[in-house]
Structure 1
Amino acid sequence: MENIGKIIRKCLLLVGGILPLANTAFAQAQMPSWEVGGGLGAMVYKGDLAPGIAPRNLRPAANLLVRYNVSQPFTVRANFGLGRIAADDASTNDPFQQARNLSFKTNISEANLLFEYNFLDFANRRRVLNWTPYVMGGLGVFSMKPNPNSGGYKTKMLMNFPLGIGIKYEFKRPWIIGLEMGTRFTRSDYLDNFGPNTFGGTDKLRNGNPNSKDSYTYVGLLLSYRFYKIDCPQ
């Protein structure tokens, strides 16, 4: 019985020595909790004055972000952006738009809550290429200040519905570079300050399409810093 007692005590000591090391290794292998960063890019508008996304309508934009990595595939992100959208009927080859001859510039500021899904294992791994494509979606609010400002402009704060894709790469731990594109769908037809009731009447040349809403897309490069959590053994 004495020998058995010694074996049990040794086993308990061995387990007691291994557990802190195992906990440390496990903690080091977990996803980091927080990430902060920002980016530079461009916004482009789609609406009555630009039925399709046209490179000539790209305007400068920037954003700040805070990510919380819930698990390996899922990330929650707060995003804050500033930019401008613009378009000009005179710059198109469409005779209808040239006859209408409208133009605008609108400053945009936004705040979004996004959910990202990582397709690859984007975890704390050493000596491996750590990268992944991802998709994102969520909800947000934005304010707009169009120029010129006519009677159709009534609301400053509106909701948007972001949806997009991206790719990120941890090129030097803990620094991450990324490229993403996300469209903000809205329920407004006045981002360009031109909608169904801008000038009144039924003249299609002077009023927007009531069956389509305006949207804007952000394309940009991101740089972020990950805060790795490493637990020391007790």
Structure 2
Amino acid sequence: MPKRLLFVLLVSICTVASAQTWEVGVGVGGAGYIGDLNTNPVKPSGLSGGLFFKRNFNGYLAARLNLAAGQISGYDSKSNDQQQRDRNLSFTDPLKEASLVAEFNFMKYIPDAGKNKYTPYIFVGGGITQYTPRTKYKGGTYSLRDIMTEGQSIPYKKSAIVVPYGAGFKYNFAGKWTVGAELGYRYTNTDYLDDVSGVYPDKSKLVTAPQKVLSDRSGENTGVFTGSPGSQRGDFKAHDTYMFGWFTLSYTFVTQKCYYEN
């Protein structure tokens, strides 16, 4: 009996140790955003990609570091809503993100050694993103943060805290190689991914020409400007959200020779 217990214990230790494996991968796909210029949660507006490094603690739980970049954009001129088309604002925003998430597999998943060749999964975590909304006007590109289009006394921050969350599906297609697809959203603590948040400023108090021109673009095509001081410019929601949808490819490194599934 003691020998049998010792054998079970050794096998268990080997299993736990070997299951603590490293994984490295890449992801490419689309990017989108939900904010003052768009409310469609699955509408892509740019591309995204990145690297990830993962520590698999067992067949169910892992910690993943993401280093990602993408670009989101929005154009009132392409909206189905007449009020947004009249507002006529637009932006593009390159994002750079670093995040750490916990990943949970619904099925026990160990590439090249486990019984399950695939599993759905979910993830949640925290991170930070750098953002720089820009717009084009008469052939030039302008940084909207520096212009302070809503009459701010100081520019808003260059970075925001993000809470990544989402779901995906992975498949062990060959040896220790895994392919997958995931859709992840990033809830942020800023409302300025698109440079639009509150109300129109009083143009008489704006100092620079770009401020006066880019704060209210409603009359560019008609000559009739509708952005009266204090009237609604944004949707008054406190936070913007962005999305990365990726196809992924990764390789798992086994760190123990006694890689074994009981």
Per the TM superposition, whether the score is higher than 0.5 is: yes
Q: Identify unmatched segments of 5+ residues in structure 2.
A: 136-143, 150-154, 203-228
The match for 2:19 is: 31
> Deviation digits for residues 25-71 of structure 1, max 9, x if unmatched?
9459942510001111111011010022363x421110100000112
Please, what TM-score do these two structures have when normalized by structure 2?
Answer: 0.74
Q: Counterparts in 2 of 1:85-100, with a 5 A limit?
A: 85-100=72-87
State the AA in 1 paired with 2:72: I
Question: 1:125: Cα distance to partner?
Answer: 5.5
The match for 2:230 is: 202
Which of 36, 60, 66 is the matching residue for 1:73? 60
Alignment check: 8 A CA contact 2:18 2:257 kept = no
Q: Distance in 1 between matches of 2:95 and 2:230?
A: 30
The match for 1:170 is: 172
Identical-residue share of aligned pairs (%): 30
The match for 1:8 is: none
State the AA in 1 paired with 2:32: V
CA RMSD of aligned residues (A): 2.7
Cα distance, 1:126–1:226 mapped onto 2, change above 3 Å: closer
Number of residue pairs matched? 214
Alignment check: 8 A CA contact 1:151 1:198 kept = no
Which of 220, 223, 228 is the matching residue for 2:249? 223
The match for 1:7 is: none
**DSSP-derived class of the 2:185 partner:** strand
Question: 1:94: Cα distance to partner?
Answer: 0.4
Q: Distance in 1 between matches of 2:239 and 2:16?
A: 47
Q: Which of 1 and 2 has greater Rg?
A: 1
State the AA in 1 paired with 2:110: A
Q: Distance in 1 between matches of 2:199 and 2:68?
A: 29
Q: Counterparts in 2 of 1:28-177, with a 5 A limit?
A: 30-53=18-41, 55=43, 57-124=44-111, 126=113, 128-148=115-135, 149=144, 150-151=147-148, 153-177=155-179
Q: Distance in 2 between matches of 1:31 and 1:199?
A: 58
Alignment check: 8 A CA contact 1:47 1:212 kept = no
> Deviation digits for residues 109-154 of structure 1, max 9, x if unmatched?
0000000110001025658552110000000100001103130552
Q: Identify unmatched segments of 5+ residues in structure 1.
A: 1-14
Question: 1:209: Cα distance to partner?
Answer: 2.4
Please, what TM-score do these two structures have when normalized by structure 1?
Answer: 0.82
